[in-house]
A and B are shown apart, each in its own frame.
Chain A
Amino acid sequence: MDDLSHEITLVEAVNLALSHEMSSNESVVVLGEDVGTNGGVFRATVDLRERFGFKRVMDTPLAETLIAGMAVGMAGHGLKPVAEIQFMGFIYAAMEHLVSHASRMRNRTRGRLSCPLVIRAPFGGGIHAPEHHSESTEALFAHIPGLRVVIPSSPARAYGLLLASIRSPDPVLFLEPKRIYRIDRQTVVDNGQALPLDTCFTLRQGEDITLVSWGASIRESLLAAESLAKEGVEAEVIDLASIKPFDLSTILNSVRKTGRCCIVHEACRSFGVGAEISASLAEHALLDLKAPIRRVTGFDTVMPYFKNEHYYLPSEEDIVATCQALMKF
């Protein structure tokens, strides 16, 4: 292990990527609520103020619309803003700037201006948080032409994908699964090596069924794959990682091999990212399928408050049961 290796959590990997990019690129600035002196409510921006100063680490007024709008202005004027929205539940005030400006600035000026901002936000349930702190609404943003939506599922991918997001000439919504912010540690080498934004990551090889997931649900998907292996069913586990635009070909190749696909996501079931993957598979691989495509998802309900959130969240057992049904189909 060299000096640059760190055994770190996902949230520490976010911090590591931010400090790496701020060191190597002066135009990278961080802004948001409590990101400065406090280092962010999850400590994702801890110590950045001390290292890079007030000008580059800005505690904004408590105004999410402003945060996104300012980031548009900064990105259109030569900076590389990485803005934090404290929780995804508060991102909707920022949405107009993502839909109407960030994602179309290059288009509406025919390339004269562009808007290479990054908006980071913790998302997802399972940490017993108050109302409005547990939703997974990535599909709302994946529907926006011109925006990238990226979700890491491990410390190493958080580091590499955040570097890639900051370096991307396109606007990126970087959603951080806060349930796994501190659940695992992993060795991450601070070598400035970005991961690609145009590919999924195959985390486990398998011949029998393809499990596609992202974010915190990758954890349950991998556990389910281990359980299934004990029954002699080998699941291929794919981390989608880049939600929009997504890498269809890796998923297609896997499903053509296994003939079965189960998509796992924490977000509501209908009109979601799982539906898009499912539709794409039906369009391109219908005759390769040995069983219907199934989804293991949250319900089309308001996210229950935390006493009942475990009923809502997809579990390892839910995934195993669905895969078993598909194997028997």
Chain B
Amino acid sequence: MTELLKVEYRQYLDAGSEVVTTNKSALVVLENTDLLLSAYRWMALTRLYDQKAVALQRTGQMGTYPSSLGQEAVGVAVGLAMSQEDTLVPYYRDHATLLIRGGRIRDLLLYWGGDERGCAGGPKQDFPICVPIATQSSHAVGVASAMKIQGEANAVVTTIGDGGTSKGDFLEALNVAGAWQLPVVFVINNNQWAISVPRGIQCGADTLAQKGAGAGIPFVQVDGNDFCAVFQVLQEALKRARSGKGATLIEAVTYRLGDHTTADDATRYRSPEEVKVAWSNEPIKRLQTYLADRGWWTEDQEKAWQAECERQVEEGIDAYKSIQPEPAEAMFDYLYDEFPDVMSNQLDLLYQKVERMESLAPVSDPEDTH
């Protein structure tokens, strides 16, 4: 009775950067130097951006921030596999994907720096960063059914963490994606930790991928630190979706090398040994070694690219720091299509408050007087 589900596990490059497949389509990806160099560049840029974003938070220049350290391969694969016409319905740790889809470093920093304009950019159809866990899954199937109704031959990609797969929204969305054959790809970014709760006690199933079985949709588990494998399973899933064959569930197995967010301290719940092992498996070094071994990426190129990343991230930070906050009344601007009369006295109250604030002389720090 308890016959276990057979779950395909896809890996093309192992942690030592050795090719571990003879699959033909895998070899096409593994030989695609333009693609791999592009992927490597995006991953390196994302890592530097993440590092500097955390530093901004640590120095009081930005709000709470969720680094994607260690998970760059998944984000970059999603970004590079999607077409510009597809719709992304992200969660909140998709920095690489957002950047590839045309998001600006300035905008990411704005969002995490407490400014609504952070999600104003990017492709006009993409959904904004989504914090309430798993709710984006329901939106994604709504977008996918809109595509189907409107005869649009594109696909939706939606991302979620391992913890999110415990929620009703995710399971309800999988269910309808199967029932209605919707053009959607679910990507689980299984980074092993939902804040402090490890994957092992999040769910009793052997894999998160197999949750697709109950919904009647194809599922696959992939080494999430192997860009090549993640990219290939995404391509296959997107092809299925765009050709009317329905949804796919992808579980990308990776590791959250950083804290959940800058407000978290992962040393409270996981051992340094575990993190050390995870570092030996991280995605950037793996791809870099593969490229270097073949002579496709040299030390000079590396140096030049790191300098370019430094320049791009600093430029984004400068743009973020130099933009003025919106005026106080901006909180009312996008609430209703037309400003309701009944709220006009609230606007008056706000203006009075602003006036009071501006009339107050700056208060000096009592510390200064000692």
Chain A residues near B (Cβ < 8 Å):
29, 55-56, 58, 60-61, 63, 65-66, 68-79, 81, 93, 96-97, 100-101, 105-114, 145-146, 148, 168-170, 198, 245-249
Contact = CB atoms under 8 A, between A and B. Distances in A.
A248 B343 CA distance: 10
28 contacts: A58-B145, A61-B172, A66-B169, A66-B172, A72-B139, A72-B142, A73-B89, A73-B144, A73-B146, A74-B143, A74-B145, A74-B146, A77-B87, A77-B142, A78-B146, A96-B132, A97-B138, A101-B139, A107-B334, A109-B128, A110-B334, A112-B124, A113-B127, A168-B337, A169-B337, A170-B336, A245-B343, A249-B342
Given A77-B147, A113-B127, A245-B343, A107 B335 contact: yes
A29 to B, nearest CB: 6
List 8 A-B pairs, minimum CB-CB distance, nearest first. A73-B142, A69-B138, A245-B340, A70-B142, A110-B120, A169-B337, A66-B172, A73-B139
Contacts of A70: 138-139, 141-142, 145, 176
A69 B120 contact: no
Contact of A71 (B121, B142, B175): B142
Contacts of B337: 106, 114, 168-170
A65 B340 contact: no
Contacts of A112: 119-121, 124
Contacts of B33: none
Contacts of A66: 138, 141, 169, 172-173, 175-176
B4 interface: no
Contact of A146 (B145, B146, B168, B335): B335
Interface in B99-157: 116-117, 119-121, 124-125, 127-128, 132, 135, 137-150
Interface string B170-193: 001101100100000000000000
Given A65-B168, A65-B172, A106-B334, A74 B124 contact: no
A77 B334 contact: no
Contact of A77 (B119, B125, B333, B335): B125
B31 interface: no
Contacts of A110: 116-117, 119-120, 333-334
Interface in B322-370: 333-337, 340-343
